[in-house]
Amino acid sequence: MVAVSLRQATHADAAALGALHVASWHETYTGLVPGEMLAGLSVDARTAMWGNILKAPDEYGCTAVVIAENHGCVVGFGSCGKQRDASLTGKGFSGEFAASLWVLRGNAPARAFYEKLGGIVVDEKIDGVHDAALIEDAYGWRDLSSLGG
């Protein structure tokens, strides 16, 4: 079994977050989003983004960024904060992860995971990028106690 530990991210983690963020997008979204979109991702830009978020989380509506480590290596991360989407706020979902989140409709493994956790589709949107329409569904949890195990 892999031993993974969780801890609060610090500004010193920005580079690891930037690299993992880009790598995870390439691994997860290849074939689901236009190739130009993935090719345009920059580790330097994501590192700067995470550095800014970790330096001033309140300015970005961020409540927490958590790092998952295995033997000192960053292997995962998660963040949560205030809801960024007005349509979901209007439906009573005031936070992003775990009260609600957006996922590409074509991302079947993620959708199955969220549904297994009790998430229900509460909204949808279409984002137009690189001459493609990306259809996203919002999953929501009205009762977070089911996530606590």
Structural domain spans, the chain: 1-81, 83-149
**CA 40/CA 128 separation, integer angstroms:** 15
**pLDDT of res. 148:** 62
First to last CA, the chain: 20
**CATH class (in words) of the domain with range 83-149:** alpha beta
**pLDDT of res. 149:** 53
**CATH class (in words) of the domain with range 1-81:** alpha beta
**pLDDT of res. 117:** 86
Q: Determine contact, residues 42/107, Cβ cutoff 8 Å.
A: no
> Looking at residues 107-125, what average pLDDT do you find?
93
Which pLDDT tens digit goes with each residue over 12-24? 999 999 999 999 9
**pLDDT of res. 1:** 56
Residue 127 pLDDT > 80: yes
For residue 79, report the phi and psi dihedrals to the nearest 5 degrees.
-140, 155
Which pLDDT tens digit goes with each residue over 88-104? 999 998 888 787 889 99
Q: What is the pTM of this model?
A: 0.74
Helix H or strand E segment including 67: strand 62-70
**pLDDT of res. 18:** 98
Report residue 73 as tokens.
Answer: 């290596």
> Looking at residues 74-100, what average pLDDT do you find?
88
> Looking at residues 113-120, what average pLDDT do you find?
90
Q: What is the DSSP string of 90-114?
A: HTT--EESSSEEEEETT-HHHHHHH
**Domain 1-81 and domain 83-149 have a common topology:** yes
